[in-house]
Amino acid sequence: MAGRVASKIALITGAARGQGRADAVRLAQEGADVIVVDTAATLPSVTYASPTLADLDETVSLVEKTGRRAVRVQADVRDLAALRAGVDAGVAELGGLDIVVANAGICVPAPWDDVTEEIFDDTIGVNVRGVWNTVMAGAPHLVERGGGSIILISSAAGMKVQPFLVPYTTSKWAVRGMAKAFATELARHNIRVNSVHPTGVNTGMTGEGLQAAFAKGFERDPKLAGMLTNLLPVVITEPEDVADTVLFLASDESKYVTAHELAPDAGVTEF
């Protein structure tokens, strides 16, 4: 039985672990070859562990275990020239590109008056400039292909204000707008562009450091704690849950879905 993205080729950033890895494996399970991109080096400003080259190699191994091909690209999404060179090489090796998943991102929670210029600039650099770079590196190949799907990973914080996340919230609303803007201009090439808005996902980004930062903020302003409550009875979701939404948008099942927000958010944006 053919997979839902059989014979397609996907580009995924932030693929060394967590959500990006889950996206890569899920698309491979459904028949896609993948170009997996990660900086695999120290991330700016963050307090949680950075991805490693070994992490990226593990993603490649997991993809290959599905029987699909994977091309590893070590590049910082903030560096357009390096990203473009890596994507171009991967496309040449695999034979084209049909799907772009701009997943790479960072999160540095802090009360507004603890946010430094470095934190703000780093967050916007990775989460906004990095997403723009990813589209700029990938979209020309989709145009050449005659169509495809671009999926920008935003957040529930890109649909609903969330406390102690000024730079992150700013970046994720920007990604939401970017998806709509690209969708309008790329539609004539039969390219769909949508954004994905998860609630909290169980990755390294949401570990003890994040919880400690929120706890500090809630001590200062307890009434804000309810803003992070999911409507469904789940505290946090898994990367594979988001990957299912990515797969839908990558597949022909969503062939007429563009310029929209899909929110596997457990209802947090409605609470």
Catalytic residues: 168
- Tell whether the torsion through CA atoms of 251, 74, 22 and 59 is positive or negative: positive
Closest CA to 260 of 184, 199, 148: 184
Residues 208, 79: Cα–Cα separation, whole Å: 30
Q: What torsion, rounded to 10 degrees, do the Cα atoms 202, 197, 170, 227 define?
A: -70
Two structure tokens written together for 138: 């990938």
Two structure tokens written together for 12: 């995924």
Residues 95, 82: Cα–Cα separation, whole Å: 20
What is the Cα Rg of the chain in Å? 18
